[in-house]
Amino acid sequence: MTDSAATSTESDLVEYLLRLGDDRLVLGHRLSEWCGHAPILEEDIALANIALDLIGQATLYLHLAGETEGKGRSEDALAYFRETVEFTNVQLAELPIGDFAFTIVRQFLFDAFNFHQLEELQKGANTELGGIAAKGYKEVRYHLRHSSEWVQRLGDGTEESRARAQKAVDDLWRFTGEMFQPDEIDDRLVASGIAPDLRKIEPKWNTMVSDVLRRATLTVPESGYMMSGGRQGRHTEYLGHMLSEMQIVARSHPGAEW
């Protein structure tokens, strides 16, 4: 019999792992919606590949979350049988895919965060978590190359591509602050050396993003009000609809095996 997460560090860790998993599961699902619909064949494959990478990463984090929690919840149980309010992803991840420019800019903004987060996380005190992060780090370097190259081509492209890319940047900017808003769980995990400090990651993210946007001849919006609440289960109206699609098969046939 496994013991339930008895200590507060363990329950913090479970929460943190759910956040890591949910960001990637939700974003991976959104990317998968492009499959069969991308503007060109090569991007159809690329976006599907990136979606699979993210869902693969999510599987590992959610599996570890379930194990640490000790209540017998597998990664599938966590992915398919939690309600909208129990999901802890940032709102940036759940926004609908929009047009290609929106997807690429959103992906870039997340990839830049993912890159710096995993770069630090793989050096954390929890070696199991560090191993998962190291695996993801290899993938995210590729994701970042893909999205940042596309941002530059869309921004420094035709009039239409630049207009769409700039609109995407302007619409997405208010969702970027949430990635760097620590709460007490983050602070406790930083103190115990497990999680990277979001306050230290934010300036690195800013430098990377400003640099790429500048090279893409796009303007960085003024930072104003930032949306938040995703980590606490407060989501946009989009997540519920997305989850109903994502979870319908599992919920229609609970316990079914392939």
- Dist CA 196 CA 49 (whole Å): 27
Q: To the nearest whole angstrom, how small is the minimum distance from the Cβ of residue 217 to another protein?
A: 17
- Dist CA 177 CA 224 (whole Å): 9
* Among 40, 224, 255, 258, interactor with another protein by CB under 8 A: 40
Per-residue string for binding with another protein, 88-127, x by CB under 8 A? ----------------------------------------
- Dist CA 130 CA 97 (whole Å): 30
In terms of CB distance, is 145 or 214 closer to another protein? 145
CA dihedral over 4, 22, 91, 16, signed as positive or negative:
positive
- Dist CA 27 CA 106 (whole Å): 10
Selected range binding another protein among 41-49, 89-97, 177-185, 198-206, rule: CB under 8 A:
41-49
Output the six-digit token pair for 109: 């903004």
Selected range binding another protein among 20-28, 139-147, 168-176, 182-190, rule: CB under 8 A:
139-147
CA 128, chain centre distance (Å):
20
In terms of CB distance, is 17 or 47 closer to another protein? 47
Per-residue string for binding with another protein, 143-172, x by CB under 8 A? --xx--x---x-------------------
Q: To the nearest whole angstrom, how small is the minimum distance from the Cβ of residue 192 to another protein?
A: 37
Q: What DSSP state is assigned to residue 34?
A: T
Per-residue string for binding with another protein, 45-74, x by CB under 8 A? xx--x-------------------------
Of 47, 49, 158, the closest CA to residue 104 belongs to 47
Of 30, 28, 75, the closest CA to residue 49 belongs to 28
Contact flag: residue 42 with another protein (CB under 8 A): yes
Our CA dihedral for 40, 137, 58, 192, rounded to 10 degrees, sits at -150
Q: By the criterion CB under 8 A, which residues form the site for another protein?
A: 40-43, 45-46, 49, 142, 145-146, 149, 153
